[in-house]
Structure 1
């Protein structure tokens, strides 16, 4: 689970509901903080994540001239979604949501797409449906196919658990397991109020977690399809990742002909582990992308 340092929007970041032709989505919207606006970007969080995973990154990208809109996907945190029906969380449905979000934030300028982890695979699915709204795609800690075997075991355990226990009960079990593994009673000390993490967890739809967890465990390799789209691509990750090995991400970048960035001293969430270095790398890539695809 990603742990942003705060859930409180900083100055220049506005929380609101984005109205689209596929419903409303909770977003954090950060306007560019420069006289010249270089573009807009949609930021999609990963499995068990939320828009707040980008809360430190957004002011840094605003200072580089980019408006960013971080989105809670359908059934994530503060975006509504059914809690007992998996159908609305099929990957194609989530991809159509992304395209609707793109239409809603479009302002006539360049629109970039960035997806973290599961959000990267949803982003890829959206681009494969229709790449025309976007001038680039950044896959952040998001691999070519299904997640590593050890992570499949954890996700399958979660999916099986959510079929028989409540979200509140699942939270208590996870906290106890993580505390035991860490040898500590307060996993969130110095990071973020544990109540915020719990509220995010309880706000997330269990059906969404079950459906997207299955996708993570079964996702096929679609690298060749994505490479054929011809969109400028960026593969970014930390220098350690137990969800998709870094070597696998290196190989994916080669197969895609993508720009490759490895952020030092970062794990699966470079956006929260090393936000300054991550923002520099993301903005540098966007700066080099032509204004029209």
Structure 2
């Protein structure tokens, strides 16, 4: 796969995406274990190790396979692309604390910092919850981050689910605990709320058999108290990109406002919550343009 020359070309390529087996890593991928502070994490890399480094981090109920379209496009342009499963998720299920306590921002931040420290400074992408973690890392350790892409990352602070389309009102009720929120998140996957392809749905459901439910609840609990790092991010010299879909959980208006508040460029595509799966060429085009500003 290659980076398209124009947005129109990218849209055309995204409309003709081939079906893939999501459980199989892209051709040329090296799969390995990374020993992080939280435990052993499943990871992969693709591309030229001497190329500029790109680190893609998935969110809750996700995994590195979420970037099976995006990673080869970037690697085909000479970038060295890496990803890992968050602790408690899919093939990193055994990592992280054993019980209900300990699912803290520090847990995820320390893992991300350790992964970044294991190589050259990287262009960092955080998907959904991982974008919140990536904001912390960018503010605390800017020397590790060449650019920051926030992909479908909640564009609010505090209890971010309050503005989710359709069910935002429910999340403001006292009954909406992290356990209820975790159940809703898993239900969305099981019922194909996002209307993904049959192949993608089969993989997403199979992946849930490995993911620890307690880790999903823990992440939802953290997202219910998302910190406000907008001022620090706006003051940061790290180039930033905020990406969302028109049919995302949060409105495009909120994403555009968030991008303005942190001094980032905004990109909105005609898709849902997972542009890396549905509009990877458009995403890659905007990411590479961001990378150039870091140069």
Q: 2:143 is matched with which residue? A: 132
Report if aligned partners of 2:128, 2:152 keep a CA contact under 8 Å in 1: yes
> Distance in 2 between the 1:260 and 1:124 partners?
16
Report if aligned partners of 1:20, 1:100 keep a CA contact under 8 Å in 2: yes
Alpha-carbon distance, 1:255 to partner: 1.4
Alpha-carbon distance, 1:74 to partner: 1.1
Q: 1:227 is matched with which residue? A: 234
Residue correspondence of structure 1 range 1-293 to structure 2 within 5 A: 6-20=22-36, 23-32=39-48, 37=51, 39-79=52-92, 80-82=94-96, 84-104=98-118, 106-107=119-120, 110-142=121-153, 143-145=155-157, 146-147=160-161, 148-149=163-164, 150=167, 153=170, 156=176, 159-160=179-180, 178=191, 190-192=198-200, 194=202, 196-242=203-249, 244-263=250-269, 265-290=270-295
> Distance in 2 between the 1:258 and 1:59 partners?
25
Alpha-carbon distance, 1:192 to partner: 2.7
Describe the shift of the 1:5–1:117 C-alpha distance in structure 2 as closer, same or farther (beyond 3 A). farther
> Distance in 2 between the 1:67 and 1:9 partners?
15
**Count of aligned pairs:** 265
> Distance in 1 between the 2:23 and 2:170 partners?
29
Describe the shift of the 1:8–1:204 C-alpha distance in structure 2 as closer, same or farther (beyond 3 A). same
RMSD (CA atoms): 2.9
Structure 2: gaps of 5 or more residues: 1-19
Report if aligned partners of 1:144, 1:222 keep a CA contact under 8 Å in 2: no
Q: TM-score, normalised by structure 1?
A: 0.80
Report if aligned partners of 1:81, 1:205 keep a CA contact under 8 Å in 2: no
Describe the shift of the 1:136–1:238 C-alpha distance in structure 2 as closer, same or farther (beyond 3 A). same
SS at match of 2:200: coil
Q: TM-score, normalised by structure 2?
A: 0.79
Describe the shift of the 1:234–1:85 C-alpha distance in structure 2 as closer, same or farther (beyond 3 A). same
Structure 1: gaps of 5 or more residues: 164-169
SS at match of 1:191: helix
Report if aligned partners of 2:59, 2:128 keep a CA contact under 8 Å in 1: yes
Describe the shift of the 1:83–1:22 C-alpha distance in structure 2 as closer, same or farther (beyond 3 A). closer
Alpha-carbon distance, 1:81 to partner: 2.5
